[in-house]
Amino acid sequence: MINVSQIKKGIVIDHIEAGHGIHIFKELHLDELTDPVVLLTNIPSNKSGTKDMIKIETDFKLDMNVLGLIDPNVTINFVQQGKVTSKLKLTLPREVVGILKCKNPRCITNQENVPDVHFYLVDEAKKIYRCEYCDAYTTFKPQN
């Protein structure tokens, strides 16, 4: 198994469903960071067989809504001086802003440049959200 050293200060996103790590990496724009970032995929896991993990050695502020949307089962570990100082379990956000795009082609947000469109959770199991403008339902799917 590949060994990646522990980080001294930063964030570890753990228990990412195998295959979702790359989506989180892209949605959080981690490729734009100049600090060390490690994406581990298909790591053996007692719970789920395999999992992904991301380690970020920086003060980077995470967008919890993006994370919660892509994989609400992840755990966030905040690390100081090489030790985990706090953990955070995520849930699917009730409301998201500026992340989703309305799937309704007749929605005004697909014609005008509307900043900060709000979407409201209607079905947790299927990750279905309602557009604040046209009320149409949009299912979140990570970009490939």
Task: Tell me which residues touch other proteins (CB under 8 A).
Answer: 104, 106-109, 111-114, 131-136
Looking at the Cβ atoms of 34 and 111, the one nearer to other proteins is 111
Looking at the Cβ atoms of 43 and 136, the one nearer to other proteins is 136
Query: Closest approach of Cβ 106 to other proteins, in Å?
Result: 5
Instruction: Judge contact between 74 and 18, C-beta under 8 A.
Output: no
Residue 129 backbone class (left: φ over 0; alpha: ψ -120 to 50; beta: rest): beta
Looking at the Cβ atoms of 70 and 131, the one nearer to other proteins is 131
Query: Closest approach of Cβ 98 to other proteins, in Å?
Result: 16
Place of tokens 């905040």: 78
Give ∠ CA 12-70-63 in degrees, rounded to 5.
55
Residue 106 backbone class (left: φ over 0; alpha: ψ -120 to 50; beta: rest): alpha
Beta bridge partners of 27: none
Looking at the Cβ atoms of 49 and 105, the one nearer to other proteins is 105
